């Protein structure tokens, strides 16, 4: 990714310093532009895939919690060891986080904040269970790694955050 960022920054510098470097009707593109576009497109597609995987997992869990609220409360009272909060409050916060944050993450709206919030939900889910099955442990590790990547590098080019940044940059409000 650092290579991709360096290439993009170099290309953007060339475009700003020489407006003729932009692709025109002529047959020649500036050196590296196709590579930059391919890497940027791959990064955006992978970020979208990561957002979808994590949002689907947590969103479906949140929907299951809401569908059978009595069972959810029973789990928080008897199974999950969340000692800091009352079981009712922990159930509300957990279900709310699993319903709101995946939508934000999938849209890429506040993507880094949503990734960090779901990281907390993921960590609490693992810590609060007395025993985690090996397959579940692997899933939580995968979700944690994807959420860490999204928190560090952002939701990618196919997101509301990226669209908003491009819009503000073009209008001159954000430089």
Tens digit of pLDDT for each residue in 121-134?
A: 999 989 888 888 98
What does the chain come to in residues? Answer: 175
For residues 45 and 148, is the Cβ–Cβ distance under 8 A? Answer: no
Tens digit of pLDDT for each residue in 7-35?
A: 444 444 454 555 555 454 444 555 565 66
Buried b (16+ CB within 10 A) or exposed e, 94-106: bbebbbebbebbb
For residues 68 and 91, is the Cβ–Cβ distance under 8 A? Answer: no
For residues 161 and 111, is the Cβ–Cβ distance under 8 A? Answer: yes
What is d(CA 142, CA 1) in angstroms, rounded to the nearest whole number? 19
pTM (whole model) above 0.85: no
Mean pLDDT, to the nearest integer, of 158-175?
Answer: 83
């Amino acid at each position: 990714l650092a290579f991709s960022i360096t290439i993009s920054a170099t290309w953007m510098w060339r475009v700003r310093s020489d407006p003729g470097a932009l692709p025109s009707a002529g047959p020649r593109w500036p050196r590296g532009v196709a590579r930059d576009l391919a890497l940027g497109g791959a990064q955006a597609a992978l970020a979208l895939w990561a957002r979808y995987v994590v949002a689907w997992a947590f969103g479906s869990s949140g929907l299951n919690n809401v569908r059978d609220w009595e069972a959810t409360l029973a789990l928080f009272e008897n199974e999950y060891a969340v000692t800091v909060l009352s079981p009712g409050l922990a159930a509300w916060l957990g279900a709310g986080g699993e319903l709101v944050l995946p939508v934000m993450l999938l849209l890429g709206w506040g993507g880094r904040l949503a990734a960090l919030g779901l990281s907390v939900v993921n960590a609490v889910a693992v810590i609060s269970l007395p025993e985690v099955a090996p397959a579940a442990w692997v899933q939580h590790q995968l979700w944690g790694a994807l959420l860490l990547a999204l928190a560090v590098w952002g939701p990618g080019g196919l997101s509301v955050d990226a669209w908003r940044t491009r819009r503000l940059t073009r209008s001159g409000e954000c430089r």
